[in-house]
Amino acid sequence: MERIKESLLVSPFFVFFLIHSMQIGVGILGFQRIIAKSAGYDGWISIILAGAAVHVIVWMMYKILNDSKGDIIEVHKEVFGKWIGGFFSLIFVIYLMAVAITVLRTYIEVVQVWMFPELNAWVFSLFALILTYYIILGGFRTVTGISFFSVVVPVYILLLVFYPLEFAHVRNLLPILNHSFIEIAKGTKDMTLSIIGFETLLIFYPFIKNPKSSQKWAQLGVLATTVLYLITMITSIMFYSSGQLDKHIWATLSMFKTIVMPFVERFEYVGVATWFFIILPNICLTIWGASRGIKKVFSVQQRKVLLFILPVVWVIGSFFKTRQQIDMLNEYMSSFGFYFVFLYIPILFVLTLVIRKVREKK
């Protein structure tokens, strides 16, 4: 395995926060409508199936990484050789950059719709990426710290998802299994954009102390994400009628409108503002991972790579301006993420097993 200074490593315990913070982003603000299109009120079953599938993929990733020389860059070299492996590593880097662009641009749209319609997207993204650069310069431990606080500090706002239960109609959950398995499975596929992000483990694995022991924390992080999405979906089903659920693009934020406090008139504004802190690790960790990937493939300084990646993310993100364009970005990202996570990783898992078995026999 690649040797990294002890001072740069993080405890296995923090893998829980790294995984969980990457899976909770802008997706949880409006995933209900997307799933309901396919699975209707049985969408909560789709979430359970998606969570179970992610647990299996995380197990596969640990099997791939535990016996490797480092991260996915080294695995690609081991399986495909230097040149083809480098090509696949670059695809992974582009994928991470695309995740960062999708998260940042979608969040800016939320701010524009709910708070400041005239907000200049490229100005906001510029300041967000400058902050990202500053955080990443602190190293992986600083990025981990941001992930930790993004889970701990805003926990109050996640608990408020229970508030709308005052207006809930439990009968909306019935009848159970009112949709076919194909429809529920499509709902599971539609969850992809909301639950991806955990695959950053493939790049930060060498930065974990005794990484093999961190799998339980990674699995707990996935479980926490699944439970949170499940609770949010069930609450939404009981709160909205089927017609309403289809129309609300940001169903979670719309539920925040029911929260009444004597000192806050529009609580959803608090939710939108707080959510920047929640999506910040999504941006930081993916860009850190992309910069590290390029650093290893081309043997260049990570700081110089950052100065290349950040402007690229900024410029490409500025091209997406309309609701239709942002929807298209999310759909393409969801499809690519699905095939990467649920097709490519299992294939890589099988290839590494076969190659290592053959080498053991020799």
In tens, the pLDDT along 214-255 reads: 999 999 999 999 999 999 999 988 888 777 787 888 888 888
Q: What is the CATH number of the domain that holds 158?
A: 1.20.1740.10
Does residue 357 lie within any of the structural domains?
no
Does residue 233 lie within any of the structural domains?
yes
49: containing domain: 6-349
Do residues 288 and 306 touch, judged by C-beta distance below 8 A? Answer: no
- The CA-atom distances, in angstroms, between 161 and each of 14, 130, 174 are 25, 32, 21
- Per-residue pLDDT band for 25 (boundaries 50, 70, 90) equals confident
309 half-sphere exposure, CB direction, 13 A CA radius: 32
Rounded to an integer, what distance in angstroms lies between the CA atom of residue 218 and that of residue 224? Answer: 10
Full-model pTM: 0.93
Percent of the chain exceeding pLDDT 70 equals: 99
Does residue 110 lie within any of the structural domains?
yes
Structural domains in the chain (count): 1
Does residue 323 lie within any of the structural domains?
yes
Does residue 358 lie within any of the structural domains?
no
Does residue 266 lie within any of the structural domains?
yes
Does residue 362 lie within any of the structural domains?
no
Does residue 355 lie within any of the structural domains?
no
Q: What pLDDT is recorded for position 65?
A: 94
Do residues 305 and 313 touch, judged by C-beta distance below 8 A? Answer: no
Backbone torsions φ then ψ of 208, nearest 5 degrees: -105, 130
Q: What pLDDT is recorded for position 184?
A: 92
Burial class of residue 65, CB neighbours in 10 A (0-12, 13-18, 19+): buried
Burial class of residue 67, CB neighbours in 10 A (0-12, 13-18, 19+): middle
Burial class of residue 354, CB neighbours in 10 A (0-12, 13-18, 19+): exposed
Structure tokens at 268: 């959803």
In tens, the pLDDT along 60-112 reads: 999 999 988 789 999 999 999 999 999 999 999 999 999 999 999 999 999 99
